Structure 1
Amino acid sequence: MFEAFVTMCMLAAAGVKAPLPGETCRTALLPGFAAETKAACERTSRLVPRQPVGAKEEGLPFCAPRPTSALYFSEAAPGVFVHRGAVAEPDPANVGDVSNIAFVVGSRSIAVIDAGGSRKVGEEVYLAIRERSALPIAHLILTHMHPDHVFGAEPLREAGAVILGQANLPRALADRAENYRANFARLIGEAAFLGSRAPVPDRVIAEQEVIDLGGRVLELRAWPSAHTATDLTVFDRTSGILFAGDLLFDTHTPALDGSLRGWLAVLSRMKALPARRVVPGHGGPLLDWPQAAEPLERYLGVLEADTQRALADGLALGPATEAIGRSEAGRWQLFDLFNPRNATVAYTELEWDP
């Protein structure tokens, strides 16, 4: 099988048409043009006009044998494949592969759950899917707004996926897209990040919706503000696996970007779901449910208790963030990066709602 590729380069300054010496470029996969022969692949790929975002394309697309994906997906259950992202900050080595990604295969189509932190990661997800199935990639479900889960969306959209998310997701991404792009381009490096863009969801879920992949039904559920104001979970009825996104963390320090008390309330409700196992947004990648919620509930409970104590003692925000949650330091990775941010959000929330 042959796939289409193109050389993608950084946009030059206005009025400059030729590639500059030492210009940043990379070879990008173009999903949607796969064919049994090289000639058939080239015929279709060169006829379709393209408008790459944040990059320019040098020369015509070309076709080559389909490569093997660089991402490892384990089969968590028949037809359910899960990739464990690195528990790390995005950097040039991991190109934004720092969150968990999954796909579910039905008899008619495939749904992908989250897309990773760069177009490059999304291309590798596409290749991993094609190693296992030629069925249409019908849906990409984004569990929330954070860039490590969404910037890989574009190749999957090009492959035919309809992008779904929680009702607040379009506005949240529109408001943050440029900041997210600049930050991830800096962390990952411009070359690896070329062609990455914040997606625009095609359809949103306000409460609940079901998707039938062919003999396999996924339940999508929107939640009130918790980890973020854009959280969505996916439950596969066939396997009994819940895809929790970042409503559940394992190993990686939780990241609070919504409501502390809201998150605790949502976790309590999630524990009543009929799931037997769960895929967290980070760590795992496959844990028993609801037991997997216990470490996160403990951490959030410590945040709440410590914040209430700091407020009662009259501590200002700066000194409070140094104390809040410190007893959890040995239990989580990346603690010194994320816990101060969490303490700030908790303090701000509980200051107004003690």
Structure 2
Amino acid sequence: MARSRPSLPARLHAIVALAATLLLSLAQAGDAPAQALQPIRVSEHAWYVLGDAGMASGANQGFNSNAGFVITRDSVIVIDALGTPPLGDALLATIRKLSSKPVKRVILTHYHADHFYGLAAFKAAGAEVWAHEAGKEYFGSGEAAARLAQRQKDLFPWVDESTRLIQADRWLSGGTRFEEGGLHFRIDILGPAHAPEDLMLTVEEDGVVFCGDILFAGRIPFVGNADSKRWLAAIDTLAGLKPKVLVTGHGRHSTDAAADLTLTRDYLLYLREQMGKAVEEMVPFEEAYARTDWSRFSKVPAFEAANRINAYGSYLTLERESLAR
């Protein structure tokens, strides 16, 4: 006997109910903190939260980068703000579990989406944002608009149409020092390297350096159109500092900077060597990429997602360097 079809009103009711359930779940996902963040203490005053080893995705809710904070006698200094507004909220909530002191300042190591999309929570809390002035060029650029559109698509609902790109309150023209709550801080400019506006923050009493994306620990770095020659110089600068602790933009902190900078350095050198040879021999990129032996790095996290983009960006960079000679 044939099964009777449900009436049109019944079907419409089911569709409306399903849609309502979906909308409610999306609203709840957007309102809730992305995930619980576990602070890792690296010195008397300094902490950080550790992002996922892969690229930003719906699976990790955009939590693939690190952010740090320093609790002084009087206030809190934050380094980077993570990659979505809910993650910024979660980072602030994590800080609040350890200290009720006001968050006075956020130091941005660079203006990449995974490090500053969480700024809104800190601005709402009254914090002042500092960054290097080279970051001004990012705002209003096609790159900024394209990245926001991509994140709204790939990281919805954690990044959506309400996500704002927040500029610094103070744009730094060079390195500087400041004292806060009995601690001395030093900002050094490293860019253009991974990004045009790269900087690092040193907590002098603790011997802790927050270096942003100059170091990717345990994963393939995102290179894109970076100035890899200057990036390599910045790596040498970091290694020469011999900090007690180096807090990276991605991956676990390091207590042996010289050793842990090796993967990022070796990868950048290999990109420059292989793509530079192709440019010199006028080999098209597709052919150069196909003939390059990537086995040394192919098992490292984020290789599949990042390597081809990195190689192409390096190819274009080395073409420009060749033309400038």
Unaligned runs of 5+ in 1: 1-19, 30-66
Residue 247 (structure 1) aligned with residue 249 (structure 2)? no
Residue 209 (structure 1) aligned with residue 189 (structure 2)? no
Q: Please give the per-residue CA displacement for 1:237-274, whole angstroms capped at 9, x wherever unaligned.
A: 12111111101111221111321111112222232225
| One-letter code aligned to 2:271 | L
Larger radius of gyration: 2
**1:261 corresponds to:** 229
Offset, 1:324:
4.6
**2:316 corresponds to:** 348
Offset, 1:28:
4.1
Q: Matched residue of 1:252: which SS?
A: coil
Assess, with a 3 A threshold, how the Cα gap between structure 1 residues 219 and 274 changes in structure 2: closer, same or farther.
farther
Unaligned runs of 5+ in 2: 1-18
C-alpha contact 1:251 1:331 (8 A) present in aligned 2: no
Mean Cα deviation higher: 112-121 or 258-267: 258-267
**1:309 corresponds to:** 277
Offset, 1:164:
0.9
Q: Counterparts in 2 of 1:1-354, with a 5 A limit?
A: 22=23, 25-26=27-28, 28=31, 70-175=36-141, 176-189=143-156, 191-194=157-160, 195-256=162-223, 257-324=225-292, 326-330=294-298, 332-354=300-322
C-alpha contact 1:99 1:282 (8 A) present in aligned 2: yes
**Structure with the larger helix share:** 2
Q: Matched residue of 2:259: which SS?
A: coil
Assess, with a 3 A threshold, how the Cα gap between structure 1 residues 153 and 303 changes in structure 2: closer, same or farther.
same
Offset, 1:331:
5.1
TM-score by length of 2: 0.85
C-alpha contact 1:118 1:193 (8 A) present in aligned 2: yes
Assess, with a 3 A threshold, how the Cα gap between structure 1 residues 350 and 185 changes in structure 2: closer, same or farther.
same
Q: Please give the per-residue CA displacement for 1:17-46, whole angstroms capped at 9, x wherever unaligned.
A: xxx9647534648xxxxxxxxxxxxxxxxx
Offset, 1:90:
2.2
C-alpha contact 2:110 2:195 (8 A) present in aligned 1: yes
Mean Cα deviation higher: 165-174 or 75-84: 165-174
Offset, 1:334:
1.3
C-alpha contact 2:238 2:257 (8 A) present in aligned 1: no
C-alpha contact 2:55 2:305 (8 A) present in aligned 1: no
TM-score by length of 1: 0.78
C-alpha contact 2:199 2:211 (8 A) present in aligned 1: yes
Q: Matched residue of 1:168: which SS?
A: helix
C-alpha contact 2:216 2:250 (8 A) present in aligned 1: yes
Measure, in 2, the Cα distance between the counterparts of 1:216 and 1:181.
36
Measure, in 2, the Cα distance between the counterparts of 1:126 and 1:231.
23
C-alpha contact 1:168 1:230 (8 A) present in aligned 2: yes
**Structure with the larger strand share:** 1
